[in-house]
Structure 1
Amino acid sequence: MTAPEVGPIGLGCASIGNLYREMSGADAAGTLQAAWDGGSRYFDTAPHYGLGLSERRLGRFLADRPRDGFLVSTKVGRLLVENPDYSDGDTDDEGFAVPATLKRQWDPSEAGIRRSLEESLTRLGLERADIVYLHDPDAYDLAAGIEQGLPVLEKLRSEGTVDAVGVGANSAETLLACVEAAELDYIMLSGCYTLLDQPAAHELLPACLAKGVQVINVGVYATGILAQPQVPARAHYKYAPASADIQAKAARIAGICERFGTDLPTAAVHFSLRHPAVAAVVAGASSAAQAEQNAARIQAQVPEELWTALATEELIPHGS
């Protein structure tokens, strides 16, 4: 079966699951609508995002749209189960502003993966998902994910239950192990091929090209430091305060971008699509305005000379 076409940009739906802060239902719908109006037809979600809230909100938004007009990916590996320790007022302890009535339970078994997918489809109101990823197996048990979870995903694809399968993770090493162990259609690569840092370029991306695995590149703003035209004084990089060296490198890149008539976040998006293994960028948005910004950046023109200048200054690899 031919894998679905996803590019060049999709919407990551963690924020509509109340990532870090509460978002109203109206604002979530507005964010989804802005992404749709900007051309996004690929939406990535997961049970993890708001303990199912992201999937429910995405499902409501897509309910009146033709099923062949969009692509949805969700994730398996984390079941949502009742939280016996819940007390009134408890909120989720993994960064989502939702009541902690449920908790996550790692289960890469066939029964667990089938149950997870079935429950996701119920929340989404869909009969099928286009792509299903094993979610962060290295955060729990990478060996079990590879030995148990990946064969189940391949089985689901062979049955026609899903169109395409993959793995999503924050580690290039984890994803390389999975690419080598299974016949995947996609990987979702988080924060490992950005304008600041490209650890995935050494082994993972060549392996994906060799095996025909398409890469969905996420985290392209490097958790914040590349998200604004000027590097903020208290920038974050990989979920922590950026070091002085990283801030200085980002500021140098920003200055060169300005010389060539573009800005740092626009260059970050375009750079993240340049590798031939990358099929799409998936960017999150916590408001309609951010979704509109993402669309404008992907549609902007970036001169080829910018990449030559950055490589000459040894800020990106030559040939990037």
Structure 2
Amino acid sequence: METRMDVAQERSQALARLPRLGFGGAAVGNLYAAVSDVDARAVIDAALAAGIRYFDTAPHYGFGLSETRHGQALSGREVMISTKVGRILEPIASPARERHGFVDAAPLEPVFDYSYDGVMRSFEASLRRLQRDRVDILLAHDLGRLTHGEAHPGHMRAFLDGGYKAMRELKDAGLVGAIGLGVNEQAVCDEALDHADLDVFLLAGRYTLLEQTALDGFLPRCERRGVKIIVGGPFNSGALVETPGGGPIHYNYAPADAGIVARVERLRAVCAAHGAPLAAAALQFPLAHPAAACVIPGMASPAQVADAVAWTQTPVPEALWSDLRAEGLLHPAAPTPVARAAA
């Protein structure tokens, strides 16, 4: 009989190759702005040239566009890829130029489907677009009450009764290395752990320099279960990287309220006092937690790739973390990075 230790070791092997820094692929699916095929290829090529070897995408990103562009750019490359299930792309006529935040995307409409057949159909279509016969990580996308409201219990039942079984079968067949959820909501991860044996969560925006309530039970639970976290949205939709005075600060995909703006400015002031970019502290902070395996900021240009790589390598003095904690800007239980000397 398989033991808890066996499961933990299997997860460790499947996710052991995850690097500290990965590539968030929504932007090359035309999130908020159209990106040409040439420019999308340039971003992915820049990531490869910078040594990035993990790329996250999804059918939802441009309704197949991000996966297609990843497939073209990464064909034959030895990289890790994660994609997602939970939506079926259905053809539509005369689509609006912008839909669900994506501009000039494919003429397809995403329809939620967490059933066994829906997951299998979605996965097969993803493999075709990605030009691969397997993926390293498969994630059920956007489950959660904040996303689905009163429809959430039905979607969760469909996932647990069908989609989860499909994902397990794909993993057992060697077509997927690890399975989990890709979500913006911490609560649904806890709910899923009550019923399913998952390897990893791609959790966007919920464990960052700005927001650390995940330490109140959830991250310790993941650590005990051997479940890894891929940290998505490390800048909280831009709040921790946007330039002051350059327009409204964004948080959770919308203009931030006064409380968030004030907290960001306090974080920025402490970082400035230590001569460290706020963005560098934001990228490095979550990786100090033992459950965190990787951080994946969105990258829309070669310059953003270069910035992300530089920020992960920028020395951040230990006194900065101490001052953040003294200012009440870090959770008392938050692990902090060990300072690295400048090269």
Please report the TM-score for the alignment, with normalisation by the length of structure 1.
0.94
CA distance in 2 between counterparts of 1:13 and 1:64 reads: 18
Q: Secondary structure at the match of 2:202?
A: strand
Question: Cα distance, 1:98 vs. partner?
Answer: 2.3
| Aligned match of 1:295 | 309
**Identity over aligned residues, as a percent?**
39
SS at match of 1:130: strand
Name the amino acid aligned to 1:72: I
Q: Does 1:263 align with 2:277?
A: yes
- Cα drift, residue 199 of structure 1: 2.2
**Which residue type is aligned with residue 165 of structure 1?**
I
Q: Which moved more, 1:90-99 or 1:302-311?
A: 90-99
In structure 2, the partner of 1:315 is: 329
In structure 1, distance between residues paired with 2:140 and 2:79: 21
Query: Counterpart of 2:127 in 1: which secondary structure?
Result: helix
The residue number in structure 1 matching 2:125 is: 119
Once the two structures are superposed, the pairs formed by residues 131-150 of structure 1 within 5 Å of their partners are 131-138=137-144, 139-140=147-148, 141-150=155-164
Match of 1:108 among 111, 114, 126: 114
Is 1:305 aligned with 2:281? no
Pick the aligned partner of 1:16 from 14, 22, 28: 28
Residue in 2 that maps onto 1:212: 226
1:254 to 2:254 alignment: no
Q: What is the CA distance between 1:120 and its match in structure 2? A: 0.3
**Structure number with higher relative contact order (C-alpha < 8 Å, ≥ 6 residues apart):** 1
Does residue 176 of the first structure (1) align with residue 185 of the second (2)? no
Q: What is the aligned-residue RMSD (CA, Å)?
A: 1.6
1:128 aligns with 2:139: no
Q: Which moved more, 1:173-182 or 1:185-194?
A: 173-182
Equivalent position amino acid for 2:143 in 1: P
SS in 2 for 1:252: helix
Contact 1:172 1:200 in 2 (8 A): yes
1:40 aligns with 2:46: no
Distance change >3 Å, CA 259–CA 27, structure 1 → 2: same
Q: Cα 1:284–1:99, aligned 2, differ >3 Å: closer, same or farther?
A: closer
Q: Does 1:76 align with 2:80?
A: no
Separation of aligned partners in 2, 1:47 and 1:233:
31
8 Å Cα contact 1:39/1:295 also seen in 2:
no
What is the CA-CA distance between 1:145 and the residue it aligns to?
A: 2.2
Tell me the secondary structure at the aligned position of residue 280 of structure 1: strand
Could you tell me whether the CA contact under 8 Å between 2:90 and 2:110 is conserved in 1? yes
Unaligned runs of 5+ in 2: 1-9, 149-154, 335-343
Q: Is the 8 A contact 1:157 1:163 kept in 2?
A: yes
Return the letter of the residue paired with 2:134.
R
- What CA distance in whole angstroms lies between the structure 2 residues aligned with 1:211 and 1:136? 22
CA-CA distance at 1:251 after TM superposition: 0.7
SS of the aligned residue for 2:287 comes to coil
Task: Quote the offset at 1:151 in angstroms.
Answer: 2.5
For 1:3, give the aligned amino acid.
A
TM-score (norm 2): 0.87
For structure 1, which segment, 108-117 or 213-222, has the greater mean C-alpha deviation from structure 2 after superposition?
108-117
Distance 2:68 2:105 in 1: 15
Question: Alignment partner for residue 93 of structure 1, among 89, 92, 99?
Answer: 99
- Report the Cα offset of residue 223 of structure 1: 0.6
> Does structure 2 conserve the Cα–Cα contact (< 8 Å) formed by 1:131 and 1:165?
yes
CA distance in 2 between counterparts of 1:122 and 1:75 reads: 14
User: Deviation at 1:108?
Assistant: 1.5
Following superposition, the deviation at residue 144 of structure 1 comes to 2.3
Cα distance in 2 between the residues matched to 1:281 and 1:112: 29
Q: Structure 1: give runs of 5+ residues left out of the alignment.
A: none
Give a deviation string over 1:202-228, Cα, whole Å, max 9, x none.
122111101101000011101111013
Decide whether the 8 Å contact of 1:132 with 1:162 is kept in 2.
Answer: yes
Secondary structure of the corresponding residue to residue 6 of structure 1: coil
Cross-structure match for 2:293: 279
Contact 2:18 2:293 survives alignment (8 Å)? yes
* One-letter code aligned to 2:87: R
Distance 1:230 1:173 in 2: 32
Task: Look up the SS of the partner of 1:74 in the other structure.
Answer: strand
Q: Distance in 2 between matches of 1:228 and 1:80?
A: 33
Superposition deviation, residue 99 in structure 1 = 4.6
SS at match of 1:80: strand
2:151 match: none
Q: Deviations over 1:171-227 (max 9, x none)?
A: 100111112321111100011011111121112211110110100001110111101
Counterpart Cα distance in 2 of 1:158 and 1:201: 32
Partner letter of residue 316 of structure 1? L
- 2:207 match: secondary structure: coil
Distance 1:273 1:280 in 2: 7
- Could you say if the C-alpha distance between residues 228 and 20 of structure 1 is closer, same or farther in structure 2, counting changes exceeding 3 Å? closer
